[in-house]
Amino acid sequence: MRSLALFLLVVVGGVTLFLILAPLFGYLPYSDRPGPGWYGRFPAMGWREFWANSWSMLSLGLFLGIVFPVPGAAGMLLIRAFECVVRNRTARRGAATLIAALAAGFWILGAGWYISAGLPLLVLATLLGAVTGGALLASPSWCALCRDR
């Protein structure tokens, strides 16, 4: 459960923070028309627009927090099962990196379609998933069967 919360915090929190801060620097990370891309320079909006955008993006972050437990839980189950089978720590870390990156990337594609997100959001979510999987979720053998080997 702690691993799933960590996955959600890093991936969903990072994506939400990007959605909040990117427009401040002139980058629109989502939009059907005119489309994602650079449309300004720093500061691209005033404080009133920034706070209005922040509340909208926090609601999107809540949406992501509701849908991301599904791939997060599936990914964590796969990572823990792999840890129970494989003894090599490097292989476990590599598998955790790949599984978490694929879970985050695949699900942000769906959520990104919903808001017409650009490629940087997909890349960010995939990288955050990879970092979370490789650096934070891959753990020493926790399975009782693995400790005895």
Q: Read off the pLDDT of residues 99-138 as tens digits, 9 standing for 90 and up.
A: 989 999 988 888 877 777 778 888 999 999 999 888 876 6
pLDDT number for residue 101: 93
Share of the chain above pLDDT 90, in %: 21
Neighbours of 99 (CB within 10 A): 24
Q: How far apart are CA 86 and CA 136, in angstroms?
A: 18
Q: What is the pTM of this model?
A: 0.81
Question: What Cα–Cα distance (Å) separates residue 128 from each residue in 4, 8, 27, 79, 137?
Answer: 14, 10, 19, 16, 12
pLDDT number for residue 148: 46
pLDDT(16) > 90: yes
Residue 66 C-beta-side C-alpha neighbours within 13 Å: 7
Q: How far apart are CA 67 and CA 12, in angstroms?
A: 10
Q: How far apart are CA 25 and CA 119, in angstroms?
A: 17
Neighbours of 146 (CB within 10 A): 15
pLDDT tier, 140 (very low <50, low <70, confident <90, very high otherwise): low
Q: How far apart are CA 1 and CA 9, in angstroms?
A: 12
Domain residues of the chain, as ranges? 2-147
pLDDT(90) > 80: yes
pLDDT tier, 147 (very low <50, low <70, confident <90, very high otherwise): low
pLDDT(73) > 50: yes
pLDDT number for residue 119: 85
What average pLDDT does range 27-51 have in this prediction?
78
